[in-house]
Amino acid sequence: MGNIKTRLITLLQLILVIIFIIFEELIWEGIAKPIYEWVHSLKVLVKLERILNSIPSWVILVLFVVLLIAVESLGLIAGALFLSGHMLIGLGLYSIKIPIAAFTFWMFKVTDSKLMKYEWFAWLYGKIMKFIDWMKSLEIYHSTIEKIKLLKSKLKELRLKYFTTSSPFIIRTKQIYKSIKTTLKKFKNG
């Protein structure tokens, strides 16, 4: 019985780690972070930052919570659309979510001192950060990250070996394509 319990806990940890890695490595690092940095660099946000710093904390809290709920709802709806086979609509909805999420993260960074005045908010934020730290401390997290790094390295090697313009594979593929094209032209004209 103990062995089954251990396996179930390990499986649950693996599922959580994979979900976290997908969101952190693929979505945040690959897509959302560059958008966040772009949003953060916009000059118009300097003026908005001054406005946010001048309004009451409770307005900031309401605005942040509404944006966060909207962002998470868009993500859940997009996920449901993916699972139901509506990939393009789900992808479109998720692509709408990303700039809103980037703005929401920017707003949090700019107004975190006002948001942390609310004890329940600071407590919840602390618990979320502790959960993330706990997940990142798991051996299964580290081994999965190492496997992903190895996979990325192998994929890069394959790309460099087979998919650069000077690779023998690409040169031969182009030759075959030209040969087929020439043959088809001969059949068409003759």
Domain boundaries, the chain: 2-137
Question: Alpha helix (H) ranges present in the chain?
Answer: 2-21, 33-41, 44-54, 57-83, 87-115, 119-137, 139-162, 168-189
Predicted confidence (pLDDT) per residue in 45-93, tens digit: 778 888 998 999 999 999 999 999 998 898 889 888 888 888 889 888 8
Predicted confidence (pLDDT) per residue in 163-188, tens digit: 676 767 667 777 787 888 787 777 77
pLDDT computed for residue 23 by the predictor: 64
Predicted confidence (pLDDT) per residue in 123-167, tens digit: 999 998 898 888 888 888 888 878 877 877 887 887 777 767 676
Return d(Cα 42, Cα 135) in angstroms, integer.
34
Cα angle, residue 91 at apex, residues 101 and 95 outer, rounded to 5°? 30
CA neighbor of 71 nearest in space, from 38, 48, 94:
94
DSSP letter for 117, please.
Answer: T
> What global pTM score does this model have?
0.61
